[in-house]
Amino acid sequence: MKIKRTWLLFALVTTIFWGLWGAFTEIPEKSGFPATLIYVVWSFTMIIPAVVGLKINHWKLDHNRMAIIYGFIIGFLGSGGQLILFTGAIKNGPAYLIFPIISLSPVITIIFSLLFLKEKAGILGWTGIVIALIAIPLLSYQDPSGESQGLAWLIYALMVFIAWGVQAFFMKLANKTMKAESIFFYMMVTSIMLSPVALAMTDFSQPINWSFSGPGYSFFIQILNAIGALCLVYAFRYGKAIIVSPMTNAIAPVITVIISLIIYQVIPHPIIITGMVLAIFSIFLFALDEGK
């Protein structure tokens, strides 16, 4: 029972930290610090939880061939997807269409986990999965604010959708043969390896906010994402991918919406409120699931 509930603890920490991250992540960019540089800051914040993780594991790193392969696959899918999201999808298309597509990435994780990992869930678990998958696009709803330019945004959005769905599957798969701390270490390495790409995509001819409200705020905001990512790896170690993936994707936006409501005093759209109710209900079903 203790191990069964351990995954829930780590999944909840992930959703809380990602929810906080989502509520504040736009602040640096709105103050003049470009998304490409925010990515660079994020990649270096990954170092802190990576070091903490290795210390917890007594500085032991899985470095056999399969561990390195799994680590780099997971890392490049995650960090590459994030880079594509900000520099490709959002830059070329409407967020109100992009995020609902990307937020359904757990569908890929669930299908792969059922087919290749033979995971199963009880009636409550399956009900929670269905409800969470319904809630995710509802929570991503945004009022149309403009028309998209061509279909390039759709290609980028589908790339992120596939990358993050497959990444979650490999994260669970890798946990069967290597330590979670090693998985995250390789995630950190690959995120930093892509930093030069982000730097090359940065338009330094434009004014950039180099004050604390730019890189400083970015650091404290992005560290929330990094810590949440480490806890996600632990959640996959102890829990089922078919439950952890939809849960974290459904609950984090709820926290983001609530915090945004408090800060900006804006009442969410009824569609988003519906998604919040469904997401909260799904978490109770996940917690009570007894499927093997």
- CB 4: neighbour CB atoms within 10 A? 12
pLDDT, average across residues 39-48? 96
* pLDDT confidence tier of residue 86, bands split at 50, 70 and 90: confident
Q: Where are the domains of the chain?
A: 2-288
- For residue 175, pLDDT over 70 is answered with yes
Residue at token pair 């903490």: 52
pLDDT, average across residues 116-130? 85
Q: Give the closest residue to 18 by CA, choosing from 251, 218, 215.
A: 251
- Report helix, strand or coil for 264: helix
Stated pTM of the model: 0.84
Residue 101 near residue 157, CB atoms below 8 Å: yes
> What pLDDT was estimated at residue 73?
97
- For residue 94, pLDDT over 70 is answered with no
> What pLDDT was estimated at residue 263?
79
Return the structure tokens found at 59. 């500085």
CA torsion, ordered 257, 263, 264, 265, to nearest 10 deg = 90
DSSP state of 120: -
Distances from the Cα of 125 to the Cα of 7, 132, 243, 247, angstroms: 14, 10, 7, 10
Residue 14 near residue 188, CB atoms below 8 Å: no
